[in-house]
Structure 1
Amino acid sequence: MSTNPSMLNVHLVPHTHDDVGWLKTVDQYYYGDRNNIQHAGVQYILDSVIDQLQKDPARRFIYVETAFFYRWWKQQNQSTQRIVTQLVNEGRLEFINGGWCMSDEATTHYSAVIDQMTLGLRFLNDTFGECGRPRVAWHIDPFGHAREHASIFAQMGYDGFFFGRLDYQDKARRMKTKEMEMLWRASESLTPPLADLFTGVLPNGYNPPEGFCWDQSCDDAPIRDDPDLEDYNVDEIVQKFLNASYRQAGFYKANHIIMTMGSDFQYENANLWYKNMDKLIKYVNALQAKGSKVNVLYSTPSCYLQELNLANLTWPLKTDDFFPYADDAHDFWTGYFTSRPALKLYERLSNSRLQTCNQLEVLGGPKSKSGPFGEGDSDTMKRAMGVAQHHDAVSGTEKQHVAYDYARRLATGWAHCEVLVRNSLAILSGSEAPHVFCENLNISVCPLTESSHKFSMNVYNPLGRTVSWPVRLPVNGSVYSVTDANGRAVDSQVGNVFISLKCTCYIYDMKSSCLLPLLINNKSVTFDETTGLLSSLTNLETNQTIQLTQNFYWYNASAGNNKESPQTSGAYIFRPNSSDPFVINKTAETQIVTVSSTVQEVTQWFSPWVSQVVRLYEGHRELELEWTVGPVPVADGLGKEVITRLDTDIKSSDYFYTDSNGREVLERRKDYRPTWELKQTEPVAGNYYPINSRAYIKDDKHQLTVVTDRSQGASSLYNGSLEIMLHRRLLYDDYRGVGEPLSEPGDFSDGLVARGRLLLTFTPPDTAADVHRPLAQGMVLQPLLSFQDGTPSANTKLEFSGLQTDLPPAVHLLTLSQWDEDTVLIRLEHQYQAKESKTHSQPVTVNLQKLFSTLDVLGASEMSLGANQWKEDMDRLQWNTSKPLPLSAKDPSPWEVTLNPMEIRTFLLRVRQL
């Protein structure tokens, strides 16, 4: 089949959308288990589609989720694999997107997104070669779309991006102005067209037009084309299709339109779909002989995109993002930014552990995978993290039993990595004494440190720069001496049941001592004597002070009985009953103060279920707030959305700033959208945005930045105010498919207790990035602690660095991973935006041969960001815009590579262990 330039070409795209876990676990979806929850079996979909594609060479199908396809492929015999390979080579089975999953865009960190995309793309490349390389990004189900995702896709070499969900007001305007397709300029720092991506909004979400669903799960009438039958309906169906085609064409610029023919877990019986689509194409195209100007064909997103490119039209430019997403006036999908906060933290910590595992696999050499502690691997963790990026995983929008399964997979992945890490540490240190990992330090449990009077602690720092990291360990003694690798004493103090390195003493005074100002390093914090709340924050370097009050509140979650709308708050939707939250307590009982030259600490109790520790560390420029929330009480019959709010005298004028997937920062403005004139209908939920690592408010002189330890929702609803949602416990489903309320049971079914950290920095705006950028990276890649009983043997190597020297401050080691036996994948990124830092927003050059201490780099080849094609072979479609595109500079030499602000460069290094 071919297109016709004089007609309206309707591209039918047969597809299935297969969630990598949602109402059922990944395994249950694959095998078609527990169909009482949802009828879905991915293995049968692929079986049936492959069978039907062989019956007609005109038929096409696209597949997206590599996590499922990988499993199915491994179970096929050679004959089936040959057939599938032929279908791929002929373009009849086409992989779209191609990541391990279709990731969420609000709550995922860019490093984990790049990893899961690389995992899927590598499998497709290794299995099918160039014909298996996806050319189109396809995010038909995520609930809002991040600019950083578009930037990542562009840098991976994709030609275009299609999605299904769009804010209802934005969609109405775009349909009216024929701006449903656009060029998304997804970076303010990268030189165009590096982060430019053609982007299209699909007309029906990802479903077929009404009346044209022919799956076994659908109720639409089949095409009855026997003229002798009483219920012959070809003419009716054809006319209905022509009407739908012309109606859709009225919203798009070109004489090509795309129709998604499929939906969730469809095509288990692909014959139903193809038999009816064959007839539809036949009878619609037959009318061309009678003057019809509609041409229908089987197609794929990349074929459709190619036709749009050939049309040589000029497309509108998009520079902001697509958050927040609402599908109706009171239905804002902003609750999932915070849903399941413990799972969100566990995923983030698992990402840190995976990077450490990857690095130590490289640095320790081949014996890391098979050494003194057995067989270990990083692949299990990579796949678990890949699954966790799914838009119903880390997003928190799955059923409870599925959330448990995601966490179990991460735990299993780390168990495999633990063996590898033990082997590598033994190789690098020269000691086979077993390393113990204390998994429960967050609740002050570590059996080895609590039972041993003499032990060593090993700290592995996965960052490419030196960091200072405070450690608190549970112990059972009262006097300890602590020394470093060179035998020098480390400042520490035992108090209660903890030894705190760099902490000197604990003072127990329940009355007034906590009202003393905390003063350390270059920060000063004061508390209100009456309320016990924070009252000011001073930066002694600049002699600047802001009034700062912090407290905890909860919004009463809608139960669906509001007269304006029956919409409830749930796993997806945030909808408070009122714009004014309830304060948990107007005062805080202060119970413990730690005052020393190295750390100062105040514990605040706001209620039996909300507490906080306020800390200042010597050598650190940030204020730490360690919050504990839960179990959230619901005996009063009220669902609760718990926030902390920072109120200052900063004149932020309704503006605030949030990061996009942990990278570039976007400007936000209360009750405003850059793309269209907003009619605000939810004054709280409609102003919430996702933050992955940080948010801030500022004026001409002051900037208050909050760095988070996981993805959360945030907003600024008042001048000088910044609020962050920490926890949610709800009593009703929000009718988006999950079918159960978000009310996590916790350990004893009383409700989940969540604990986390916020890091506050107060600086002038022009130097703020120099502080919060490294802070955010340090929160994402945390040191790995391991312990050994007793003291190290005499021949143990006590210090090791995998790098010859610290990386420049602007450069971040994003990826260091074993690729093949003698090759290593490395990604270096410039972690500052253009014009963000006077000091660091400049190009930086790094010598690849002078990076590592244990590796001799013999060769380097640059790859796309997804590491599935050579950089020199990247040839993306070019699009007409109203702005000219400047040229980029070249590297000074093959070994010396230059990184410009926000640039990520990916290399495959051929190495030899030294």
Structure 2
Amino acid sequence: MIRASFFFSNMAAGALQLAVALLSLFSAVLSFPLGPETKHTTTCGYESCHATKPNMLNVHLVPHTHDDVGWLKTVDQYFYGDRNDIQHAGVQYILDSVVDQLLKNPDRRFIYVETAFFYRWWKRQSSSAQQTVKQLVNEGRLEFVNGGWCMSDEATTHYSAVIDQMTIGLRFLNETFGACGRPRVAWHIDPFGHAREHASMFAQMGYDGFFFGRLDYQDRMHRMVQKEQELLWRASDSLTPPTADLFTGILPNGYNPPEGFCWDQSCDDPPIRDDPDLEDYNVDDVVMRFLTIANSQATVYKTNHIIMTMGSDFQYENANLWYKNLDKLIHYVNAQQANGSKVNVLYSTPSCYLQELHRANLTWALKTDDFFPYADSAHDFWTGYFTSRPALKRYERISNSNLQTCNQLEVLGGPASRQGPFGEGESQTMKKAMAVAQHHDAVSGTEKQHVANDYARRLANGWQRCQVLVSNSLAALSGSSAKRIYCDNLNISVCPLTESSKKFSVSVYNPLARPVTRPVRLPVNGTAYAVSDANGKAVDCQVSTREVRRNRGFAVNELVFQVQAPPLGYSTYSVSLRQAGPRPASAQPGAPTVIQNKFLRVTFDPDTGLLSSLSNLETKQSIKLTQNFYWYNASDGNNLESNQPSGAYIFRPNSSTPFVISRTAKTETIQVQFPHMVQEVRQWFAPWVSQVVRLHGDSRALELEWTVGPLPIDDGLGKEVITRLDTSIKTSEIFYTDSNGREVLQRKKDFRPTWNLMQSEPIAGNYYPINSRAFIKDDVDQLTVVTDRSQGGGSIHNGSLEIMLHRRLLYDDVRGVAEPLNETSNIFPEGLVVRGRLLLSLDPPSVAADAHRPLAQEVVMQPLLTFTNGDLSPNTRLEFSGLQAALPPAVHLLTLTQWDKDSVLLRLEHQFQSWESKVNSQPVTVNLQKLFSTLDVLGMSELNLSANQWKDEMMRFSWTSLPLTDGPLWLDPSTWEVTLRPMEIRTFLLRVSLR
């Protein structure tokens, strides 16, 4: 059956024959997301659940394993069971053993989560073994939950990367198992706090419910008393309910079994000894203890159903141990029903448990905020990982941008882009590396050092393969076969080509669906250059002196010029060395009093050299603004209140007052030869902290480029470095952060919306994840800070915003990683040096989002620079756009990626919340058929967010909470025109052909 109505829109009667042909043409693509048809010997999903007993307490035993996609060991080491001297864990043996044991008893159940591991295991199985597994899946005995490539972190991940990693995992399950492989439940049992945006995404992916294990200890106690450990999470204030509503359950034991009931080879609990002739017979004791635990647990949940997670980290390597004892437990506990017991135990899954909660038809508590920050006791706030491993966090963000560029150019360049040593797989390595990097012990920075190195290596390998694809695509689009060179070390001003060549070209590819203007900074050795754009027009440029960092590269100067890149396209600039010219601008001692362009005015205190004010010249706003660097002394755990030290997870300063990092030299400033280009103030605060305050000629944002490290530890003190912005804005102890780069949430000092907080850590307990931006505001002014990676921050003082930049610690925080967060490298053996950027903008609150949302997207989706040496061929196409026209300001092209030979996956999102902007918080309509310049869109069908279900077939459980208020209904004007409402993401499978 055809999946979309567009075939007949605006079609004359004479075209009916064509339509019939098209029906045949598209049928294969439009049935794809559902996966292969499967013949069920029984049933899967909700229909495969064991029967429960209505007048009893039903205990749902959920056998499971939690398999980290890297943590103490690398992904490969975990899969193969290597390096057991670090941790005994081998995922391949877990899956072998579980499948064998499931076959021995049809009542048994098992859930599996991490597709990255299952995919590896599956590829190594024989066809007969694969058929056996398919049968287990079709009968609901082996069930997939969550189903993403990994179980992603929720604090430090960007929503675009999360959607991608979920899509790759769920697609594999669809292709392999069909509808029976589709998870019904999201399962985040280990992440360290939970983001509202994740719940919103899961709801839009079609999940019926969400279960997790970790929440703040005070929150848990409150919810246990109120019986609110199961609730309805309204995860968007813009999407009309129930679009982003998600039933959420908090598991009773984290994700571990009840105490005394662990029967893995890594456990010490005694087995069930049921031979009455033996002296150590213990069935009566086991049954009594289990009934006590079950009845106690039931007192803090609302229904006559409770759930018990029977498993833990990397368990079930010898599944016989678990199942043999679980079989006995179920038998002996249920046998007590003959004696009047009201407890019924059964093998179950999270979806089967969820189904029973849905059948209860109760009214559930409603939650609209998130679950950050997370603390497991009074002095143990898991807010350090918001910043841990800042270099890896930045590399992950850059890799995400590179992947989107790789995906887009694979589509725009057509089949020619996929010519290479890896054929169709050029982009797959990068996709999988990025998916693994979203794991809650990857980008979070909470892994061992050798594992962090492995994540970075995977990203680098993926990008090397993508470079082949990008080069092929740009060659096809430009008509030039000149070798493309990539300067991946521009972040430290190193590019061998620009440092040595007298003539070269720079192609700037823009992955955004709107034009972008930005400065390019290239290391050079010449003193004067001529730059021309794609039309041969001269471009203003500037050469200034620069510092050589760590003897890498040999350039003594830096060339700066503005580039403009069209939407979803590239523009090429020619650069040539001039024989003579003015001397480069150089640093001159003395603190400036002011720098300004036509939009911003920035003043400095003449005595301290620090920032003193920021003014928006367009809106006539001005605020006092002081910015400085500080460090918190990390607790070593040796104090009266608690023995908890700071570590990779935990942030615990030993004082609420940080140490100021004093400058040891006068501030220096560059006397700019071209003031309309760029103005810089270079500041040194210590030998290990410096900053460039930079104002570009046409920028509405002030750039603070900070360099921190190596953090000194000779004094025996761990250090957590922050920058703090102190302003005249009256904030009333409130500030705002983004959730995974999308919706904004309000934060208030020493306050939680759903319970009365007893604050025990005044700094760490007020830190929140900042994924792409944070701001403070009053009725007149809003200061927005856009970050270039995920970081932690807070507003500890009125009118203040602080952001943690770097951490170097001397003690492990006793959360399992078993090594201090003390990063070094071959280049920086004395400690890691990290460089980053903060972008500051000042606007009236009513229009601030119109500026900071596009700005944040520019930082996330940054242009890609490729270089060619010498002259280009005269026939080279120097400029190209993949779109017929730029998308409206409110619309972001989130995904454009090849799906199969003739179809592409497209995601468009409305990037404004419903209340943010008078202009941009309105519905926007886009015509898909008129979208691309090089692609003919022949057919389309809409999918859910994760592209594993047709949108109109996505049926979810409905839940009762507080009364719902219906929002306005916006219909698409026509088949080809789609309307996006605030915060809506729409996903389409397009049948396309190259023009």
TM-score, length basis structure 2:
0.91
Q: What's the offset of the Cα at 1:586?
A: 6.0
Whether the aligned pair in 2 keeps the contact of 1:193 and 1:885 (CA below 8 Å) is no
- Which residue in the other structure is 2:824 paired with? 745
Q: What's the offset of the Cα at 1:318?
A: 0.4
Q: What's the offset of the Cα at 1:515?
A: 1.2
Match among 476, 482, 486 for residue 531 of structure 2: 482
- Which residue in the other structure is 1:765 paired with? 845
Tell me the SS of whatever aligns to 1:646. strand
Give the Cα separation in 1 of the matches to 2:475 and 2:401: 20
> Which amino acid counterpart does residue 900 of structure 2 have in structure 1?
D
Match among 800, 808, 814 for residue 888 of structure 2: 808
- Which residue in the other structure is 1:840 paired with? 920
Whether the aligned pair in 1 keeps the contact of 2:517 and 2:562 (CA below 8 Å) is no
- Which residue in the other structure is 2:612 paired with? 535
Match among 602, 609, 619 for residue 525 of structure 1: 602
- Structure 1 residue 99 corresponds to structure 2 residue 153: no
> Which amino acid counterpart does residue 905 of structure 2 have in structure 1?
L
Match among 655, 662, 670 for residue 741 of structure 2: 662
- Structure 1 residue 409 corresponds to structure 2 residue 490: no
Q: What's the offset of the Cα at 1:477?
A: 1.6
The answer to which of 473-482 and 17-26 deviates more is 473-482
Match among 147, 159, 171 for residue 110 of structure 1: 159
Give the Cα separation in 1 of the matches to 2:342 and 2:863: 64
Give the Cα separation in 2 of the matches to 1:239 and 1:370: 67
Q: What's the offset of the Cα at 1:812?
A: 0.1
Q: What's the offset of the Cα at 1:681?
A: 0.1
**Aligned runs of 1:276-355 on 2, under 5 Å?**
276-355=325-404
Tell me the SS of whatever aligns to 2:831. coil
Give the Cα separation in 2 of the matches to 1:771 and 1:694: 12
Give the Cα separation in 2 of the matches to 1:279 and 1:814: 51
Identity value in percent: 75
Give the Cα separation in 1 of the matches to 2:80 and 2:530: 56
Change (3 A) 1:508 1:795: closer
Give the Cα separation in 2 of the matches to 1:768 and 1:162: 36
Match among 257, 272, 284 for residue 306 of structure 2: 257
Give the Cα separation in 2 of the matches to 1:748 and 1:137: 41
- Which residue in the other structure is 1:797 paired with? 877
Match among 938, 942, 946 for residue 862 of structure 1: 942
Whether the aligned pair in 2 keeps the contact of 1:531 and 1:588 (CA below 8 Å) is no
Q: Deviations over 1:400-435 (max 9, x none)?
A: 000000000000000110000000000000000011
Tell me the SS of whatever aligns to 2:529. coil
- Which residue in the other structure is 2:717 paired with? 638
- Which residue in the other structure is 1:828 paired with? 908
Give the Cα separation in 1 of the matches to 2:423 and 2:991: 27
Q: What's the offset of the Cα at 1:144?
A: 0.2
Q: What's the offset of the Cα at 1:869?
A: 0.6
Give the Cα separation in 2 of the matches to 1:710 and 1:774: 16
Give the Cα separation in 1 of the matches to 2:226 and 2:874: 75
> Which amino acid counterpart does residue 875 of structure 1 have in structure 2?
M
- Which residue in the other structure is 2:270 paired with? 221
Q: What's the offset of the Cα at 1:494?
A: 2.1
- Which residue in the other structure is 2:632 paired with? 555
Whether the aligned pair in 2 keeps the contact of 1:368 and 1:376 (CA below 8 Å) is no
- Which residue in the other structure is 1:142 paired with? 191
Whether the aligned pair in 1 keeps the contact of 2:935 and 2:992 (CA below 8 Å) is yes
> Which amino acid counterpart does residue 562 of structure 1 have in structure 2?
N
- Which residue in the other structure is 1:783 paired with? 863
- Which residue in the other structure is 2:487 paired with? 438
Q: What's the offset of the Cα at 1:158?
A: 0.2
Give the Cα separation in 1 of the matches to 2:661 and 2:178: 58
Q: What's the offset of the Cα at 1:289?
A: 1.2
Q: What's the offset of the Cα at 1:785?
A: 0.1
- Which residue in the other structure is 2:558 paired with? 498
- Structure 1 residue 721 corresponds to structure 2 residue 800: yes
Q: What's the offset of the Cα at 1:507?
A: 3.9
Whether the aligned pair in 2 keeps the contact of 1:375 and 1:419 (CA below 8 Å) is no
Match among 872, 883, 902 for residue 963 of structure 2: 883
- Which residue in the other structure is 2:38 paired with? none
> Which amino acid counterpart does residue 183 of structure 1 have in structure 2?
L
Change (3 A) 1:470 1:128: same
Give the Cα separation in 2 of the matches to 1:897 and 1:104: 32
- Which residue in the other structure is 2:684 paired with? 605
Q: What's the offset of the Cα at 1:594?
A: 4.4
Whether the aligned pair in 1 keeps the contact of 2:676 and 2:698 (CA below 8 Å) is no
Tell me the SS of whatever aligns to 2:325. helix
Give the Cα separation in 2 of the matches to 1:302 and 1:91: 11
Give the Cα separation in 1 of the matches to 2:828 and 2:171: 43
- Which residue in the other structure is 1:573 paired with? 650
Change (3 A) 1:787 1:836: same
How many residues in Structure 1 have an aligned counterpart in Structure 2?
Answer: 913
Q: Deviations over 1:430-468 (max 9, x none)?
A: 000011000111111111111110000000000000011
> Which amino acid counterpart does residue 488 of structure 1 have in structure 2?
K
Q: Deviations over 1:875-914 (max 9, x none)?
A: 0000011212526332111110000000000000000110
- Which residue in the other structure is 1:419 paired with? 468
Give the Cα separation in 2 of the matches to 1:588 and 1:723: 24
Q: Deviations over 1:603-638 (max 9, x none)?
A: 000010000000111221000000000000000000
Q: Deviations over 1:655-712 (max 9, x none)?
A: 0000000000000000000010000000000000001000000000000000000000
Tell me the SS of whatever aligns to 2:913. coil
- Structure 1 residue 907 corresponds to structure 2 residue 967: no
Whether the aligned pair in 1 keeps the contact of 2:366 and 2:961 (CA below 8 Å) is yes
TM-score, length basis structure 1:
0.99
Change (3 A) 1:701 1:839: same
Whether the aligned pair in 2 keeps the contact of 1:811 and 1:829 (CA below 8 Å) is yes
Tell me the SS of whatever aligns to 1:778. helix
**Aligned runs of 1:364-383 on 2, under 5 Å?**
364-370=413-419, 377-383=426-432
**Aligned runs of 1:55-134 on 2, under 5 Å?**
55-134=104-183
Whether the aligned pair in 2 keeps the contact of 1:532 and 1:587 (CA below 8 Å) is no
Give the Cα separation in 2 of the matches to 1:651 and 1:505: 46
Change (3 A) 1:60 1:375: closer
The answer to which of 86-95 and 502-511 deviates more is 502-511
Give the Cα separation in 1 of the matches to 2:602 and 2:808: 32
Q: What's the offset of the Cα at 1:126?
A: 0.4
**Aligned runs of 1:223-242 on 2, under 5 Å?**
223-242=272-291
> Which amino acid counterpart does residue 242 of structure 2 have in structure 1?
P
Q: What's the offset of the Cα at 1:193?
A: 0.2
> Which amino acid counterpart does residue 203 of structure 1 have in structure 2?
P
The answer to which of 581-590 and 147-156 deviates more is 581-590
Whether the aligned pair in 2 keeps the contact of 1:317 and 1:881 (CA below 8 Å) is yes
Give the Cα separation in 1 of the matches to 2:666 and 2:254: 51
Whether the aligned pair in 1 keeps the contact of 2:393 and 2:790 (CA below 8 Å) is yes
Whether the aligned pair in 1 keeps the contact of 2:663 and 2:686 (CA below 8 Å) is no
Q: What's the offset of the Cα at 1:373?
A: 11
- Which residue in the other structure is 1:246 paired with? 295
Whether the aligned pair in 1 keeps the contact of 2:793 and 2:803 (CA below 8 Å) is yes
Q: What's the offset of the Cα at 1:854?
A: 0.7
Whether the aligned pair in 1 keeps the contact of 2:782 and 2:845 (CA below 8 Å) is yes
Tell me the SS of whatever aligns to 1:797. coil
**Aligned runs of 1:646-725 on 2, under 5 Å?**
646-725=725-804
Q: What's the offset of the Cα at 1:371?
A: 5.3
Change (3 A) 1:411 1:197: same
* Gap runs ≥5 in structure 2: 1-49, 546-556, 564-581
Whether the aligned pair in 2 keeps the contact of 1:506 and 1:594 (CA below 8 Å) is no
> Which amino acid counterpart does residue 879 of structure 1 have in structure 2?
W
Whether the aligned pair in 2 keeps the contact of 1:367 and 1:423 (CA below 8 Å) is yes
- Structure 1 residue 16 corresponds to structure 2 residue 65: yes
